[in-house]
Amino acid sequence: MDSPTAQGPEATRIRRHASVRSIFLAATFGLAGIGLAAAIAVAILASETGRASRQVGRELETVRAVASAQREVLIYSRESLLLAETGDPSHARSRDAARAEVAAAIESAKANTNGHGDQARVGEIDALIGRYIAERDRLLGPGLPPGKQLTLAAPYLDEAMVAADRYIEDSERAATLTEERVRRLGTAATSAALAVVVALPLALLGMLRWVRRRVYLPFLRLHEALNAYSAGEKGVRASEVGPPELADMGRTFNQLADSLERQRQTRFEFLLAVAHDLRNPLTALKATVALTDARMRKGELTREQIEQQQRRLALQVDRLNRMVGDLLDMTRVEAGRFDLSIAACDVRSLAVEAKDLFEGSSAFHPIRLVLTDEAVMVKCDRQRLGQVLDNLVSNAIKYSPQGGEVEVRVHRAGAYACIAVRDHGMGIAPENQGTIFEPFQRLRPDQAPGVGLGLSVSKLLVEAQGGRIEVQSEVGVGSTFRVYLPLEQAPA
């Protein structure tokens, strides 16, 4: 036994392929086809009925002509007898007139015959009548008694009359059959017209129902989903059924709604992360300040210890400052309010500054500089490019929890200046190397502080200065981030 689901996917697939365009084409051609077929049927029936009616008319006309010939033959016969009995010339005239009428009636019958068979039979009747008239005229001559003449001519007359009678009978039967056919054609035409009158509205109704189910209802459901969504039901999704155009619209709406939902979720998580990441250094800052203050009051701290505490405080403030700076940059870029002050600069000096900045920050991450002897000049916003480099070095330290050297290398690469920051840290899996430049993308939120903005801000800054940023990394081995900027053209 077929399970209902056995046919389901196939049926769904076939239904899915009927696009709005093909549905309307099918409806148009379907209705036009029914109309055309009805018109052809009515035209054929009308022409057939006309032909059959004309045939009946001709058959009846032949019957009338043959019957008239019979009557005139009898008149001819009677006038011949009277002529023989009385010798009155008026009977001779009447007889000749009757003979002429016979000839005219036979001609009329011949003109209305249907086909060769009829023509032959009328010809035969004509011949038999002609033979009788010739015989009758011949018998009138030798002075035979009228009764004898009648008797001698009678067999010829009988034969002609019988042939005419038979022909009339057959023609009447044929006419009756043709009439019957005309009647049947009439009934068929009426039935066809009725069928069209009933079938057209039914077909129209069927098509409307079909269009309603296949197009209108999916459209209505999509409309309801959109309305519900805009009324605040953010969990509502459209059904992706119906013709491809509507299913596509439903899918696009769902993707949009999902993406908005993800964005909402991301924003929420981002706010949480920002609050969390701002609170940690602030709490530490507050505790350090309170402790230092209390111990200073008691005179427990040496000058060296006070300086150490101050360095810690400065570090925490730096981190806070950087995070707030990233957030501000991001917001400015998003809002389109972002200015650069471009000037010529030797990239090597930026590398030296980054080393100075981070060198003391971690005993486990020595910083090594590899610089070319000659200047590597680019046109850039010095402060912004320094910010990018700081972010890369800071990440290199942050994501190398086991320690390890961080190398900052500056060199020329064709028409570009290249700044490469290399670490021996945890590395980044290939599938994540594309996404880390997107805002709020953090691969290991629990392992290191941050909000996931550093790289996306760096990318925006580098690209705004006509450059590009790339990563090359291997999990467990380390990462190298490279920034390329066009070299400044040496003045000619």
Residues that bind ligand ADP (CB under 6 A): 391, 395-396, 399, 423, 425-426, 428, 436, 441-444, 450-456, 479
Q: How far is the CB of 407 from ligand ADP (least distance, A)?
A: 12
CB of 471 to ligand ADP, least distance (A): 8
For residues 416 and 489, the answer to whether their CB atoms sit within 8 Å is no
**Which is nearer to ligand ADP, 85 or 334 (by Cβ)?**
334
Nearer to ligand ADP, 157 or 351 (CB): 351
- Provide, rounded to whole angstroms, the least separation between the CB of residue 322 and ligand ADP: 9
Nearest distance, CB of residue 350 and ligand ADP, angstroms: 18
Q: Which amino acid is at 133?
A: I
Helices within 344-419 (DSSP H only): 347-358, 382-398
Query: What's the closest the beta carbon of residue 472 comes to ligand ADP, in angstroms?
Result: 11
Helix axis angle, 20-86 relative to 146-211, nearest 10°?
Answer: 170
**Which of 168, 320 has the CB closer to ligand ADP?**
320
Task: State which residue, 327 or 377, has the beta carbon closest to ligand ADP.
Answer: 327
Give the nearest distance from C-beta 265 to ligand ADP in angstroms: 18
Nearer to ligand ADP, 270 or 399 (CB): 399
**How would you label 20-32 residue by residue, b for 16+ Cβ within 10 Å and e otherwise?**
beebeeebeeeee
Please say which residue, 292 or 395, places its beta carbon nearer to ligand ADP: 395
CB closer to ligand ADP, 350 vs 428: 428
At closest approach, how far in Å is the CB of 405 from ligand ADP? 13
Compute the least distance from the CB of residue 247 to ligand ADP, in Å. Answer: 37
Cβ 338 to ligand ADP shortest distance, Å: 18
Is residue 156 within 8 A of residue 135, CB to CB? The reply is yes
Q: Which residues of 202-222 are buried (b: 16+ CB within 10 A; e: fewer)?
A: ebeeebeeebeebbeebbebb
**How far is it, in rounded angstroms, from Cα 339 to Cα 333?**
9
Give me the least distance between CB of 473 and ligand ADP, in Å please. Answer: 7
Cβ-based nearer residue to ligand ADP, 196 or 455:
455
- 62 versus 395: smaller Cβ distance to ligand ADP: 395
Q: Phi and psi of 441, rounded to 5°?
A: -90, 110
Q: DSSP string spanning 36-50?
A: HHHHHHHHHHHHHHH
- The nearer residue to ligand ADP, 338 or 440, going by C-beta atoms, is 440
The one-letter code for the residue type at 94 is: S
**What's the order of all strands across the beta sheet hosting 468-474?**
367-371, 406-413, 416-422, 478-486, 468-474
Q: Which residues contact 215 (CB under 8 A, 6 or more apart)?
A: 20, 23, 242, 243, 246
Measured from each CB, the residue nearest to ligand ADP is: 450
CB neighbours of 62 closer than 8 A, spacing ≥ 6?
109, 112, 113, 114, 118, 122, 171
Choose among 302, 304, 303, 306: nearest CA to 314.
Answer: 306
Q: Find out whether 444 and 374 touch, Cβ atoms under 8 Å.
A: no
Q: How far is CA 194 from the centre of its chain?
A: 37
